[in-house]
Structure 1
Amino acid sequence: MIKIAGLGISGTYLYHRLKNAGFDVSAYDPRKEKYYIPCGYATNEFKISEYMSRINMDFEDYILNRAGDITFTGNNFAGKTLQSSGLCTFDKNSLEADARKNIHTELLRVQNDDIIIDATGISRAYIGHKIGDVQYKTLEYLTERSDYKDFYFYFLPGGRGYFWSFPLGKNFHIGVGTLSEEDFSLVRKYKKIKVTSRNIRMAPMFENVYHGNVIGVGEAIGTVSPITGEGIVPSLQSAEILYECLKINKADDVGIRYQEKIRKKFGYYNKLSSMVSNIQKGDVIKVENILALKSVKRTINDFGIKFDIVPFLRHFI
């Protein structure tokens, strides 16, 4: 039997994919009712729509705002206005709640022949923690006003994270992901309707995607872009990869095949992570940083932003 721990975006998606394919699957999630999800609520509508359609959900029903002008700014460059190629905010709380409606959850009682899917995100509750885990702190407000009308990114000095402001329906979602809690002041100046805080995994853990019969998915294995912090579509992509592996491989081979495919799909995250680490150490002019620029463009484009690296060279290298 396959047992999924965690019903966030990747766990819920994987549950439906497996259930619809006839697998014997159960799930457990400890979240409380009306839990407000800590998240930037932004993703690429075209990419996520493909995955939602596979579990009979219309993503269009959950879109709150489509990006118009997107501002990128930071310590080494003046603001640049970019255009959208699918960036939007959406009602993630409602989408996940609707996706979980027909899932009966139960406590996980692990048997020796069970496959456990760890979709517990930052906690890696079943697969376990590993040395080298890189986590940033976040503080996020739902607020009635923002100093920025459209989508806004401010990259913090020294590559330690970024501040964002995104329209969210009639309100705004404002937050900062950073290595230093001093940056929380960028958010605290706003009047909050709701507040949430969490750690976010900002480096891949692709050498540790499974342990025995426990297999990780989504943020549990680090499918979060080290540049944008986007983890929604990448987590769905990892869930789809695992689904395909479970369909065509023997139970004993699933972890190995899955890890191979994850490395192939997201290997460029390692380049991005190394680049960010170099910048944080002050090692800006390095050959590996220059070689990573193509991956920088790729991850920002995947987020739904039309991006050309040239105007930002002073910041990224």
Structure 2
Amino acid sequence: MKIAIAGAGTTGAYAHRLLRNQGFHVDLFDKEPKTACGLNPCAWGTSRDFIELTRAAGLEPENYILQRSTHVVMDEVRLKGDLLTFDKPALIKDLLGGTEIKHHPLELSAYDRVIDATGISRAFLPPTKRDILLPCVQFRVRPEDRLENKIKLGGVGYAWCFPLGRHGYHVGCGTLAADPNLALKEVGWLSKNPGWEVICACKGNVRLSGPHDSQPFVVDGTGEGVWGVGEAIGCVAPLAGDGVVPGMKSVRILLEHWDDPAAYTKAILKEFEWMKREREVIDKLLAQNRLGLKDAWVLKKNSRRMGMQVGLRKAFLLLKNLQ
């Protein structure tokens, strides 16, 4: 079987590794990188499930973890959490294991199956009707003093400061209500600290649609079709913006339902049912509808996936800060 993967980010590289471990020969395609690290913008933050998923690929997760955090400061409130940042370029490099990335156009007819891991592009899948793309801007900086792991909510989005160990910090902002550059400037983390060394900067978009609004996942186009994974099929938490772990999980679900498109679609929707509820909260925020305890419960429950301990009252207050 001739297989091609379009997209060499975390999800595409993970799919390549797992397929190669099962004895498949896979060609890998991607566009020429346009950022300093060679990747699409990402804060390099993730949750504890990253550890087991990395081990499943035959790699040692501790080799990539840059810093663990037992808390996060969200809107000046210190919350307990089990968060981590990881060396994303190093992980992708090891997942690929020296595989050549082809930068010329992928010809669908040359392959029996194509896996679309192209993120927001959905390059080989049809467009969706209710897509939500969050504009983001990010800087990697080396400040004069040590910073905390923190988040500032606002404008149907948030600003973040994530510690990266020896690599400095990622400071960025994503918002659906304004220019993220202007929103980050208003937060003041960079504008009030001109002495910080800026190592690199990038901008991009994150899909917040959720899988239920990112269908279809599988379409015709080759002998066995084009199968989407990761952000291409909405596997990104709409409220938190985390797509690393969901993307990896989508690959494992694909392998479990390799020959059954209907079963694959059903399994993805079941695994990420919680994203549907997060998407409903995003829709309320965009429509400026009143938020209730039901919405706060969604944030409270789903924040535990990121190892965060948020009470119902605090969750309600945090949601109001997103407006």
Kept in 2, the 8 Å contact 1:43–1:304? The answer is: no
Q: Deviations 1:9-32 (Å, cap 9, x if unpaired)?
A: 111111121222223432212234
Question: How many angstroms apart in 1 are the aligned matches of 2:63 and 2:275?
Answer: 31
2:313 corresponds to which of 298, 310, 315: 310
Whole-Å separation in 1 of the counterparts to 2:37 and 2:277: 38
Aligned to 2:21: 20
Per-residue displacement from partner, 1:218-244 (whole Å, max 9, x unpaired)?
A: 011111111111110011111110111
RMSD (Å) for aligned C-alpha atoms: 2.2
Q: Do structure 1's residue 67 and structure 2's residue 64 form an aligned pair?
A: no
- Tell me the secondary structure at the aligned position of residue 107 of structure 2: coil
Equivalent residues of 1:297, 1:308 under 8 A apart: yes
Mapped pair 1:174 → 2:182: no
Distance 1:226 1:136 in 2: 10
Once the two structures are superposed, residues 169-220 of structure 1 have per-residue CA deviations (whole angstroms, 9 ceiling, x without a partner) of: 1411100011110314246525422101101111114332222211111011
Match for 1:300: what amino acid? Answer: S
Alignment of 1:216-295 (within 5 A): 216-246=228-258, 249=259, 254-285=260-291, 289-295=292-298
Post-superposition Cα deviations, 1:90-109, rounded to whole Å, max 9, x if no partner, equal 11111112222232334533
Inter-partner Cα distance in structure 2 for 1:243 and 1:103: 20
Name whichever of 88-97 and 306-315 sits farther off. Answer: 306-315
CA distance in 1, matches of 2:112, 2:300: 40
Secondary structure at 1:67's aligned position in 2?
A: strand
- Unaligned stretches of 5+ residues in structure 1: 74-78
User: Higher mean Cα deviation, 289-298 or 206-215?
Assistant: 289-298
Aligned with 1:84 (options 81, 84, 94): 81
Question: Closer, same or farther in 2 for the Cα pair 1:163/1:110, shift >3 Å?
Answer: same
Q: Is the partner of 1:68 in helix, strand or coil?
A: strand
1:168 is displaced (CA, Å) by 1.2
Sequence identity percentage: 27
Specify the code of the residue in structure 2 equivalent to 1:23: F
Aligned to 2:135: 137
Decide whether aligned partners of structure 1 residues 129 and 149 sit closer, same or farther in structure 2, where only a CA change above 3 A counts: same
CA contact (8 A) 1:68 1:150 kept: no
Partner residue in 2 for 1:98: 94
TM-score of the superposition, structure 1-length normalised?
0.87
SS of aligned partner of 2:245: helix
Contact preservation (8 Å) 1:36, 1:196: no
Contact 1:151/1:166 (CA < 8 Å) preserved in 2? Answer: yes
State the distance in 2 between where 1:57 and 1:205 align.
28
**2:300, 2:315 within 8 Å by CA — same for their partners in 1?**
no
Aligned residues: 299
Are the aligned partners of 2:141 and 2:170 in contact in 1 as well (CA < 8 Å)? yes
How far apart are 1:2 and its partner, in Å?
A: 2.2
Alpha-carbon contact 1:42-1:88 (below 8 Å) kept: yes
Structure 2 alignment gaps of length 5 or more? none
| Aligned counterpart, 1:3 | 4
Q: Spell out, residue by residue over 1:83-130, the C-alpha distance to the aligned partner (whole angstroms, 9 max, x if none).
A: 122x01111111112222232334533227621110011111111322
Specify the code of the residue in structure 2 equivalent to 1:70: V
Partner amino acid, structure 2, of 1:9? T
Alignment-mate amino acid for residue 276 of structure 1: I
Q: Does the residue aligned with 2:101 lie in a helix, a strand or coil?
A: coil
What secondary structure does 2:143 align onto?
Answer: coil
| CA shift for structure 1 position 70 | 1.1
Q: Which residue of 2 aligns with 1:208?
A: 216
